[in-house]
């Protein structure tokens, strides 16, 4: 087993859920259906497929860790021929001063082609793979969480295992009875996992886009699982439509990148390293970043080069790469991410997506769907220039604060968690935007674990309490301790609680990484001019977010699990779910605690793994726009050295203690402050939440109504479209009126023609002729007497007559 087997393992891991989907789709046609819909055949198939995928991913990760050559024997190792050492040209530290901060461990990745769709001299389209430690970590995370959720759902969805599922949530006056959809649910879950894994594995942006859309489609199916309920139906359509808006921007970005790079592959395939025609985007870009090419092509020569090469537009890679391409391409991809990862202003679909079954929410909010956007940004991080990152960071910060404040006042437990997801995604986006690649990816993975845990817990809580609203729960801690305490772990991890400098939950480490980078942003190289307020704003948003997170998380937990039960009847019947449901929760809880830890007596852990994939010398640190030439030039080249307005530095692997110490203290203090406030409000009742809300009615209404964004969107987009539609309808009716008039004239003419020309004239003549023949026939009939003697008589008469006539005529 070596690196060669990695693509095969991961491909198999990707295809297993697809196989499960196909089995569940076509199984009934070949008699593979549950006996009387009582069996859990479909759940078994889907769960086994996803756990097999997990085993394969884990095996692949193990091979990677085992086989990764150390920096000493990299040159001599046989496997070094197969994998590309990014260090040889790409990830060499650009600034000499930075080299101490960069780990000596080079970033490795595997890339190659599966299948060629079509190929011309300059163009290649097809399926590729790109594997680095980020791919592997994501594979393990997705398959493990999806596996847990499959187990959970196999028990949670049991009420669908019937021929007569009664759905009384449609309307109070109507109870729908329909066949259960247990098999269909697992069918969609499998397809969902397949799409997400395919997205992670894909080696070019086009392939990513295909799986990206598949993920969106599956989420549509699953959010609209109870398709008969109007709200679910609308939520599914909303999710789908809002994502289309983002995907439009993404398509623009893809088109721009394709037009200028001539390829959408991330990297050159391993087997074609020597062929410059097949250079991937990263490789083409690094040719411009690499200092060695700078020596061969000084920036002053660039305009000449561009002139010489300008007639040959088809020669890829394009010699002149305008700087705006990277900005437009990067922002276009970010548009897709805004839609998929629910960033402001397209976050509105995520809270409505709660209409789907709870396991779907758990999956959508952790491992799949929303993770896709952040993952894609992380993957294309090397091509994002500073300007794009600035916008990304601002959008993330706005999302973070907005959704956190919405979570403060929401009462539906699933909606609180949904807003919390948006907020945490905002953290990841801020991290990407401020250059904290590692922090973003780390937080993506840790968040997936504790958020799926929280959603599974929420499902159990709703089941126990019989309501979605935390204001109607209370006192459930005694009745369902397993749920309560595993959710407590999830809440603590979400808040990022830990003992500073010692140990903490996984969220403590990942959130800390993000905050450190955001804190560094303005300090390392102060921003000048109009933009000088931005680092401060980002820092305030990130730190304020921790307080809000602490507050809303524990508001939810305290209201649901402590205090006095509001409804004693349902509380008396409340109980913990079956082991099939809390088992997966325990698995997730375990990882929510430990994911940030390193293995004892070594530095090996999730962070060290992810660090291997971290892009060291990305576009935003090495490139800067030159207004003079419009070319990509190196920032350090003396000819165009202009002091930039702002810089976004790459994330160092170890921040200085002068950064980490205040950040850790502030972050932990912030979340503890939030938690304490929540305790004050909802446990010890020193603070009165109702009084607080009454003192700020305006803000309360703003949070409660989600900043009236729904209404704004309704006024800005939905209503104009409806008005346009109504107007178009009237225009249509107007046109119809004339068309109908013309039609009626034609019809009248046709009627007249039919009556007079056709019926009277043509038909009359033919009728007369026919009648004549008929009459003749009837008259001749009388001669046919059938009597032999009469015939003879006629014969005689005729002959006699003829002879007589002849006699007369001839004489």
Partner 1 sequence: MFDLLSQPVTLTHYLCISAFLFTVGLLCMITKRNAIGVLIGIELVLNSANLNFIAFGSPYFQQSTSGIDGQLIALFVIVLAASEAAVALAITFHFYQKYQTIDVDQGQDLKG
Shorter beta-carbon distance to partner 1: residue 716 or 796: 796
For partner 1, the binding residues in 577-616 under the rule CB under 8 A are none
| Sheet of strand 108-119, all strands in order from the earlier edge strand to the far edge | 84-85, 108-119, 124-131
Window contacting partner 1 (CB under 8 A); options: 20-28, 190-198, 662-670, 783-791? 783-791
Shorter beta-carbon distance to partner 1: residue 796 or 805: 796
DSSP state of 162: S
Window contacting partner 1 (CB under 8 A); options: 285-293, 416-424, 434-442, 792-800? 792-800
Shorter beta-carbon distance to partner 1: residue 752 or 794: 794
Instruction: Evaluate whether 389 touches 619 at the Cβ level (below 8 Å).
Output: no
For partner 1, the binding residues in 315-334 under the rule CB under 8 A are none
Nearest distance, CB of residue 788 and partner 1, angstroms: 5
Nearest distance, CB of residue 773 and partner 1, angstroms: 15
SS3 204: strand
How far are the Cα atoms of 363, 779, 790, 793 from residue 797, in angstroms, in the given order?
A: 109, 19, 10, 6
Q: Under the criterion CB under 8 A, does residue 786 sit at the interface with partner 1? A: yes
Rounded-to-integer distance, Cα 773 and Cα 91, Å? 103
Q: What is the dihedral of CA 82, 88, 93, 99, to 10 degrees?
A: 90
Nearest distance, CB of residue 792 and partner 1, angstroms: 5
Rounded-to-integer distance, Cα 386 and Cα 527, Å? 12
Shorter beta-carbon distance to partner 1: residue 120 or 784: 784
Window contacting partner 1 (CB under 8 A); options: 37-45, 202-210, 571-579, 780-788? 780-788
Backbone angles phi, psi at 108, to 5 degrees: -105, 150
Residue among 781, 807, 810, 811 that touches partner 1 (CB under 8 A): 781
Nearest distance, CB of residue 782 and partner 1, angstroms: 8
Residue among 31, 783, 809, 810 that touches partner 1 (CB under 8 A): 783
Window contacting partner 1 (CB under 8 A); options: 36-44, 66-74, 742-750, 775-783? 775-783
Residue among 739, 792, 804, 806 that touches partner 1 (CB under 8 A): 792
33 class by beta-carbon count within 10 Å (0-12 exposed, 13-18 middle, 19+ buried): middle
Window contacting partner 1 (CB under 8 A); options: 78-86, 578-586, 636-644, 786-794? 786-794
How far are the Cα atoms of 492, 554, 681, 800 from residue 551, in angstroms, in the given order?
A: 11, 6, 10, 132
Window contacting partner 1 (CB under 8 A); options: 100-108, 164-172, 541-549, 789-797? 789-797
Q: Under the criterion CB under 8 A, does residue 802 sit at the interface with partner 1? A: no
Nearest distance, CB of residue 761 and partner 1, angstroms: 34
Shorter beta-carbon distance to partner 1: residue 719 or 785: 785
Q: Using CB under 8 A, count the residues that bind partner 1.
A: 13
Q: Which H/E stretch holds residue 135?
A: helix 133-156
Q: What is the dihedral of CA 425, 430, 435, 439, to 10 degrees?
A: -40
Shorter beta-carbon distance to partner 1: residue 35 or 781: 781
How far are the Cα atoms of 91, 283, 541, 653 from residue 99, in angstroms, in the given order?
A: 11, 21, 31, 11
Instruction: Evaluate whether 382 touches 284 at the Cβ level (below 8 Å).
Output: no
Q: Under the criterion CB under 8 A, does residue 530 sit at the interface with partner 1? A: no
Shorter beta-carbon distance to partner 1: residue 96 or 788: 788
Shorter beta-carbon distance to partner 1: residue 744 or 785: 785
Instruction: Report the 10 Å Cβ neighbour count for 429.
Output: 29
Nearest distance, CB of residue 770 and partner 1, angstroms: 19
**CA atoms within 13 Å, Cβ hemisphere of 686:** 6
- The two beta strands, 623-625 and 108-119, are unpaired
Nearest distance, CB of residue 783 and partner 1, angstroms: 7
Window contacting partner 1 (CB under 8 A); options: 583-591, 701-709, 776-784, 801-809? 776-784
Shorter beta-carbon distance to partner 1: residue 598 or 800: 800
Cβ-Cβ contacts under 8 Å for 154 (sequence gap 6 or more): 40, 43, 44, 47, 186, 580
Q: Under the criterion CB under 8 A, does residue 807 sit at the interface with partner 1? A: no
Window contacting partner 1 (CB under 8 A); options: 39-47, 288-296, 746-754, 774-782? 774-782
Nearest distance, CB of residue 801 and partner 1, angstroms: 15
End-to-end CA distance of the chain: 128
Shorter beta-carbon distance to partner 1: residue 600 or 777: 777
Instruction: Report the 10 Å Cβ neighbour count for 264.
Output: 21
Shorter beta-carbon distance to partner 1: residue 738 or 783: 783
Nearest distance, CB of residue 768 and partner 1, angstroms: 24
Window contacting partner 1 (CB under 8 A); options: 393-401, 475-483, 763-771, 781-789? 781-789
Window contacting partner 1 (CB under 8 A); options: 114-122, 476-484, 517-525, 788-796? 788-796
Give the per-residue contact string, 725-764, with partner 1 (x = CB under 8 A; - = no). Answer: ----------------------------------------
Examine residue 317 and say whether the peptide bond preceding it is cis (omega within 30 degrees of 0): yes
Residue among 638, 789, 807, 810 that touches partner 1 (CB under 8 A): 789
SS3 411: coil
Rounded-to-integer distance, Cα 621 and Cα 360, Å? 39
Backbone angles phi, psi at 609, to 5 degrees: -65, -50
Nearest distance, CB of residue 791 and partner 1, angstroms: 9
CA-based nearest residue to 376, from 338, 420, 419:
338
Residue among 499, 692, 716, 793 that touches partner 1 (CB under 8 A): 793
Q: Under the criterion CB under 8 A, does residue 803 sit at the interface with partner 1? A: no
Q: Which residue has the tokens 């990263």?
A: 282
Residue among 274, 603, 784, 811 that touches partner 1 (CB under 8 A): 784
Q: Which residue has the tokens 């085993």?
A: 55
Nearest distance, CB of residue 808 and partner 1, angstroms: 20
Cβ-Cβ contacts under 8 Å for 694 (sequence gap 6 or more): 700
Residues 495-499: contacts with CB under 8 Å, at least 24 apart: 495/546, 495/549, 495/550, 495/553, 495/554, 495/671, 495/674, 495/675, 496/546, 496/549, 496/667, 496/668, 496/671, 497/668, 497/671, 497/672, 497/675, 498/668
Nearest distance, CB of residue 802 and partner 1, angstroms: 15
Rounded-to-integer distance, Cα 325 and Cα 625, Å? 11
Q: Which residue has the tokens 């890829």?
A: 316
Q: Strand pairing partners for 88?
A: none
Q: Strand pairing partners for 632?
A: 625
Shorter beta-carbon distance to partner 1: residue 536 or 797: 797
Give the per-residue contact string, 80-119, with partner 1 (x = CB under 8 A; - = no). Answer: ----------------------------------------
Rounded-to-integer distance, Cα 193 and Cα 142, Å? 8
Q: Under the criterion CB under 8 A, does residue 780 sit at the interface with partner 1? A: yes
Q: Under the criterion CB under 8 A, does residue 796 sit at the interface with partner 1? A: yes
Shorter beta-carbon distance to partner 1: residue 656 or 795: 795
Residue among 104, 120, 564, 787 that touches partner 1 (CB under 8 A): 787
Name the site residues for partner 1 (rule: CB under 8 A).
Answer: 780-789, 792-793, 796
């Amino acid at each position: 087993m070596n690196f060669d087997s990695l693509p095969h393992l991961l491909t198999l891991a990707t295809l297993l859920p697809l196989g499960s989907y196909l089995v569940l789709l076509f199984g009934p046609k070949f008699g593979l259906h549950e006996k009387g819909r009582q069996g859990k055949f479909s759940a078994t198939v889907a769960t086994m497929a996803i756990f097999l995928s997990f085993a394969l991913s884990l095996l692949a990760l193990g091979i990677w860790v085992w086989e990764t050559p150390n920096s000493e024997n990299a040159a001599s190792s046989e496997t070094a021929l197969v994998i590309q050492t990014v260090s040889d040209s790409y990830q060499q530290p650009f600034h000499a001063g930075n080299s101490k901060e960069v780990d000596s461990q080079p970033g490795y990745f595997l890339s190659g082609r599966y299948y060629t769709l079509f190929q011309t001299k300059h163009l290649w389209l097809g399926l590729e793979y790109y594997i680095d430690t980020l791919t592997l970590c994501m594979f393990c995370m997705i398959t493990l969480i999806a596996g847990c959720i499959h187990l959970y759902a196999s028990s949670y969805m049991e009420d669908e295992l019937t021929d007569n599922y009664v759905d009384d949530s449609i309307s109070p006056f109507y109870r729908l009875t329909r066949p259960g959809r247990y098999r269909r649910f697992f069918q969609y879950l499998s397809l969902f996992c397949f799409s997400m894994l395919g997205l992670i594995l894909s080696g070019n942006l086009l392939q990513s886009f295909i799986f990206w859309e598949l993920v969106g489609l599956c989420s549509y199916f699953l959010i609209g699982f109870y398709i008969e309920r109007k709200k679910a139906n609308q939520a599914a359509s909303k999710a789908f439509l809002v994502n289309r808006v983002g995907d439009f921007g993404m398509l623009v970005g893809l088109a721009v990148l394709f037009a200028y790079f001539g390829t959408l592959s991330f990297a050159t395939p391993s087997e074609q390293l020597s062929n410059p025609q097949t250079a991937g985007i990263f490789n083409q870009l690094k040719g411009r970043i690499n200092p060695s090419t700078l020596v061969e092509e000084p920036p002053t020569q660039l305009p000449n080069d561009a002139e010489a090469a300008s007639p040959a537009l088809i020669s890829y890679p394009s010699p002149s790469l305008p700087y705006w391409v990277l900005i437009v391409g990067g922002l276009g991809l970010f548009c897709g991410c805004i839609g998929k990862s629910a960033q402001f202003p397209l976050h509105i679909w995520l809270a409505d997506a709660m209409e789907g079954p709870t396991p779907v929410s758990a999956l959508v909010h952790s491992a799949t769907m929303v993770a896709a956007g952040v993952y894609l940004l992380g993957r294309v991080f090397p091509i994002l220039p500073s300007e794009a990152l600035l916008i990304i960071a601002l959008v993330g910060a706005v999302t973070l604060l907005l959704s956190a404040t919405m979570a403060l006042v929401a009462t539906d437990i699933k909606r609180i968690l949904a807003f919390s997801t948006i907020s945490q995604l905002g953290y990841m986006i801020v991290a990407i935007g401020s250059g904290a690649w590692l922090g973003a990816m780390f937080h993506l993975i840790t968040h997936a674990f504790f958020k799926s845990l929280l959603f599974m817990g929420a499902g159990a809580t709703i089941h126990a309490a019989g309501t979605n609203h935390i204001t109607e729960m209370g006192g459930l801690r005694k009745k369902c301790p397993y749920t309560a305490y595993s959710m407590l772990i999830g809440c603590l991890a979400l808040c990022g609680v830990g003992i500073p400098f010692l140990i903490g939950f996984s969220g403590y480490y990942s959130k800390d990484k993000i905050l450190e980078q955001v804190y560094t942003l303005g300090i390392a190289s102060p921003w000048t001019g109009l933009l000088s307020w931005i680092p401060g704003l980002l820092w305030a948003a990130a730190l304020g977010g921790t307080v809000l997170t602490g507050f809303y998380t524990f508001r939810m937990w305290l209201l649901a699990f402590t205090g006095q039960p509001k409804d004693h009847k349902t509380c008396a019947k409340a109980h913990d779910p079956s082991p099939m449901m809390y088992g997966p929760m325990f698995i997730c809880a375990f990882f929510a605690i430990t994911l940030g830890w390193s293995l004892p007596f070594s530095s090996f852990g999730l962070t060290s793994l992810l660090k291997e994939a971290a892009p060291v010398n990305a576009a935003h640190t090495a490139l800067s726009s030159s207004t003079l030439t419009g070319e990509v030039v190196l920032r350090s080249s003396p000819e165009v050295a202009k002091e930039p307005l702002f810089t976004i530095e790459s994330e160092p692997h170890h921040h200085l203690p002068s950064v980490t110490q205040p950040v850790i203290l502030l972050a932990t203090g912030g979340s503890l402050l939030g938690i304490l406030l929540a305790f004050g409000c909802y446990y010890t009742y020193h603070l009165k939440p109702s009084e607080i809300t009454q003192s700020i009615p305006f803000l309360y209404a703003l949070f409660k109504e989600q900043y009236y964004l729904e209404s704004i969107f309704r006024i800005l987009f939905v209503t104009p479209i409806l008005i346009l539609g109504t107007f178009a309808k009237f225009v249509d009716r107007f046109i119809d009126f004339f068309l109908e008039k013309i039609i009626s004239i034609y019809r009248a003419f046709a009627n007249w023609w039919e009556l007079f020309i056709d019926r009277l004239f043509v038909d009359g003549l033919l009728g007369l002729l026919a009648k004549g023949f008929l009459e003749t026939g009837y008259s001749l009939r009388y001669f046919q007497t059938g009597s032999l003697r009469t015939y003879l008589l006629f014969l005689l008469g005729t002959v006699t007559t003829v002879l007589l006539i002849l006699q007369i005529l001839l004489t």
